[in-house]
A and B are shown apart, each in its own frame.
Chain A
Amino acid sequence: MHLPTPVPAGYTGRSATLAGAALTRPALTLAEKLCARAAGAAVVRAGEIVTAAVDLAMIHDSGGPRRVGPMLAELGVGLWDPSKVVLISDHFVPAADAGSAAILDLTRKWAADNGVGAFHDMQGICHVVLPERGHLKPGMFVVGGDSHSTTGGAFGAFMIGIGATEMAGVLATGEIWVRVPPTIRLEWRGALGPGVVAKDMMLALCTRLGMDAGNYRAIEYAGPAIDAMTMDARMTLANMAAELGGKAGLIAPDETTVRWLAAHGTAPADGWRDWRTDDGADIEAAHVLDAGELSPQVAAPHSPANADDAGAFRSVRFDQAYIGACTGAKLTDLRMAAEVLRGRQVARGIRLLVAPASTRTTAAAAADGTLAALTEAGAILMPSGCGACAGYGAGVLADGEVCLSSTARNFKGRMGHPGSRVYLASPYTVAASAVAGEIADPREFLRETAA
């Protein structure tokens, strides 16, 4: 269905012709190129409001069918294109009570009734399952009913988080209005030292730049330290662009991206090399950072922007260590933990919960011995899903309890009782601290492992 679009003030899109502009196209940012493609325009510039045709809409059990179903019914329309909808049950899985079970049941029925073929039920966290199952490609314009939808930007797709009513509008029409975001470029020079990872970069960025530095903006990560990163690590950066307030967290696709896509049964469309910011494009701000100077970071309650070197938190005690979430439980995250835990034991009085990001993550970690290293050290293995990350599932905290977590957010009460406290860190730091019995710098453990 195509609807007449309300024309917002400042709307200028769709005037240029595609053929003419290819020759004379000005230098553009990656965000501008991605928005232009979705708007059917040759050129759009930051600040313009355009109507974008959505390539893919991702919804989950919490913000999805139970919210959008009644709204579509009220509108009296079905899905604009069921083949462009991916539904993932991850927030309330596995059902911990009858209320959660009812939500999951409703989700399954809605998928069947609406012909949604791409329904991944209890297979892991949406932001990890989406690319893992080959749904994401460079150049796409994607909306997700979840704030960490920025994760998709790791693949050079423009992926933004939206709320449920907005999603109902997209599901009905296939379109959404967006203001083309200005770009903030974060250029990471140098190389990360041992034991220092993407999560540390993000906690340091939140603290240095602030939680709203990227509001209404595209955050673009670039530079040699990014080029050297695995897709898992890039996903952590794009994921936590949300903690900088970013509309999107973008990384230009490269050979690493293409290899990853191939390993997951898909390939980018021709011309993927153009999904990058042109030299000389107008960017709002650029920050140059040195990856080599960074130490493992820990963010104190109740904000990811409360970070300092892990060493500054030495002797801070906690009750629960959590390795989970789309941010911190992908295969390479679990391997970091295993590297530290192999041949060691979780300290007495501490419970280490590990919830792998997806069922495929669990299978791969079982195959390469990672899981055994974790469980032999005393880790408690949890189902794949959002779990304790947002306080929806199992593993939540009691009043006064303290948790050290590989997740993205430590807002007051997020992981359970409002009187609980959460520190954030990388999987390396969470695992090392779980062994030490207090917050520790993981590099000391890695040195011992190497020796």
Chain B
Amino acid sequence: MSAAVTGRAWVFGDDVDTDALAPGQHMKDGIEALAAHCLESLDPDFAGRVAPGDIVVAGRNFGMGSSREQAAMALKELQVGAVVAESFARIFFRNAINLALPVLACREARTVAPGDRLRLDPPTGALVNETRGRTLACDPLPEHLLAMIADGGLLPHLKKRLKAAAA
């Protein structure tokens, strides 16, 4: 899988829903326009100020609600490096992995404060909070999901399989 993810923490609470991540009113727009509204109902500054590699940190059940994949795509579009949450809603979790957005569950996610400098190593799940000088343990992803992220998501992964099947 890709190298470590380094950036600042954007901290949200429990039950961040897909209407917040990808608002319905902008769902007919392209991903660039939609991403400009990502999380605006919770933090109007987020989409404008998040920097490449920044990490979204949240509480329980991140991504609950709709199956709309744009919820994960919008974060990718904004070049968010990873999402670390206490737990994830299952459809969002699969969507993110399928798009090669690292999503890791971490029991200690709540110890992260907004703006903390983080360094995440997705394969091991080690999350270093450089601001606070402590390392948090995220649940490592199973092999088959790490492989999918390493391939760049489900589509490139499938392409590889199709090629192998044809050969």
Q: Does B133 sit within 8 A of A, measured CB to CB?
A: no
* Residue pair A396, B25 in contact (C-beta under 8 Å): yes
Question: A103-B28, A172-B158 given as contacts; is B95 within 8 A of A414 (CB)?
Answer: no
Q: Which chain A residues border B19 with CB–CB below 8 Å?
A: 390-391, 409, 411-414
* A165 touches B (CB below 8 Å): yes
CB–CB B90/A391 < 8 A: no
Check A212–B144 contact: CB distance below 8 A: no
Which of the residues A7, A71, A100 comes within 8 Å of B155, measured between beta carbons?
A71
Give CA–CA (A267, B135) in the complex, Å. 58
- Bound: A33/B8 CA distance, A: 46
Question: A3: CB under 8 A from chain B?
Answer: yes
A62 touches B (CB below 8 Å): yes
Q: A71-B155, A416-B25 are in contact. Are A165 and B98 (CB under 8 A)?
A: yes
Query: Contacting B24 at CB < 8 Å: which of A100, A146, A212, A391?
Result: A391
Interface size on A, residues (CB 8 A): 55
Q: Give the interface segment out of B49-57, B60-68, B106-114, B120-128.
A: B60-68
- CB-nearest residue of chain A to B98: A165
Bitwise, B139-167 to A at CB < 8 A (1) or not (0) is 00011100100000111011101101100
Give the complex CA separation of A166 and B91 in angstroms: 10
Contact B25 A9 (CB under 8 A): no
Choose one: B23, B27, B143; the contact of A418 (CB below 8 Å): B23
**Pick from B40, B94, B144: contact of A166, CB under 8 Å:** B94
Taking the closest CB of chain A, its distance from the CB of B110, in whole angstroms, is 16
Q: How many residues on B have C-beta within 8 angstroms of the other chain's C-beta atoms?
A: 45
Which single member of A3, A166, A245 contacts B154 (CB below 8 Å)? A166
The answer, yes or no, to whether A163 is at the interface (CB within 8 Å) is yes
* Interchain CB contact under 8 A, B69 and A6: no
Is B67 a contact of A145 with CB atoms below 8 Å? yes
Check: A162 CB closer than 8 A to any chain B CB: yes
- Say whether B1 faces chain A, with CB atoms less than 8 Å apart: no
Give the contacting residue for A164; candidates B23, B69, B142; CB below 8 A: B69
List residues of chain A with CB under 8 Å of any chain B CB. Answer: 3-4, 6-10, 62-63, 67, 71, 74-77, 91-92, 97, 99-100, 103, 144-147, 149, 161-166, 168-169, 172-173, 177, 211-212, 215-216, 245, 247, 303, 390-392, 396, 409, 411-414, 416, 418
B-to-A contact residues, CB < 8 Å? 15, 17-20, 23-25, 27-29, 40-42, 60-61, 64-69, 72, 87, 89-91, 94-95, 98-99, 142-144, 147, 153-155, 157-159, 161-162, 164-165
A-B contacts, 27 of them at CB < 8 A, read A3-B165, A6-B157, A8-B144, A9-B144, A63-B68, A75-B158, A99-B29, A147-B65, A161-B67, A161-B91, A163-B68, A164-B69, A165-B98, A165-B99, A165-B153, A169-B158, A172-B162, A212-B64, A212-B87, A245-B61, A390-B24, A390-B66, A391-B24, A411-B17, A411-B19, A413-B41, A414-B24
